[in-house]
Amino acid sequence: MSQFKIHSIQTAPGIAQPLLEGSLKKYGFVPNLHGGLAEAPAALKAYIDLTALFDQISFSPTERQVILLAVSVENHCTYCVAAHSMIAKHMVKADPAIVEALRNGKPLSDAKMDALASFTRAVVKNRGAVCGQTLDKFITAGYSRVQVLEVLLGVAFKTLSNYTNHIIDTPLDTAFQAEAWAEPAQSSSAKCA
């Protein structure tokens, strides 16, 4: 059982209340992740600020969701996989086959998108120590050095939420239930230390 509370606007620390009000305006509800992060207002603000920055990078909306889903699957985050599957399919209108391949850790049929997903997974798996063929494949697929660093921004942003969800055991919001995700059987999820 989690030792953390999922805050509402009313129960959140005062400094976090306007941030949660902003979440309510943006999404029509306060995502449980935001309610959990509200325990530490600076963490919630960092997450909101990183979201805004990530939305401004050079990748298309679909490519941004590829990054966020690849990170979340690699980090075994059931909450974020469900949330970004919903966002990708219903808000961004990404090809459902891309979303399903990402959710299952499979190659993508689009070679450029697959290079993006593979590079992102490698960054997470190797804790940023990515070079040689993996980096060359990413650049050869048509991505730039700027985009290498933008992937790192996505990894940092999503790792904050993935790890938060692991630690506070964030319950999945009703809005994301249709995309609930369980890790594929061959995955080995990290266990509590």
Alpha-carbon gap, residue 129 to 147, rounded angstroms: 16
pLDDT of residue 185: 63
pLDDT band at 2 (very low <50, low <70, confident <90, very high): low
Alpha-carbon gap, residue 136 to 118, rounded angstroms: 12
Q: What is the pTM of this model?
A: 0.93
Determine the topology of domain 59-179 in CATH: AhpD-like (1.20.1290)
pLDDT above 90 coverage of the chain, percent: 90
For 60, half-sphere exposure in the C-beta direction (CA atoms, 13 angstrom radius) is 11
Contact 189, 76 (CB under 8 A): yes
Q: What is the pLDDT of residues 84-114, one digit of tens each?
A: 999 999 999 999 999 999 999 999 999 999 9
Contact 33, 143 (CB under 8 A): no
Determine the topology of domain 8-56 in CATH: 1.20.5
Least Cα distance to 189 among 123, 112, 113, 105 occurs for: 105
Q: What is the pLDDT of residues 107-148, one digit of tens each?
A: 999 999 999 999 999 999 999 999 889 999 999 999 999 999
Q: Cβ neighbours of residue 92 under 8 Å, at least 6 residues apart?
A: 61, 62, 65
Q: Tokens 């070079």: give the residue.
A: 131
> What's 110's DSSP letter?
S
Q: Cβ neighbours of residue 41 under 8 Å, at least 6 residues apart?
A: 12, 13, 15, 16, 19
pLDDT of residue 49: 97
Can you give the residue ranges of every domain in the chain? Answer: 8-56, 59-179
Least Cα distance to 65 among 55, 75, 74 occurs for: 55
Alpha-carbon gap, residue 161 to 33, rounded angstroms: 7
Collect contacts of 183-188 with beta carbons under 8 A, ≥24 apart.
183/76, 183/78, 184/104, 184/105, 187/76, 187/105
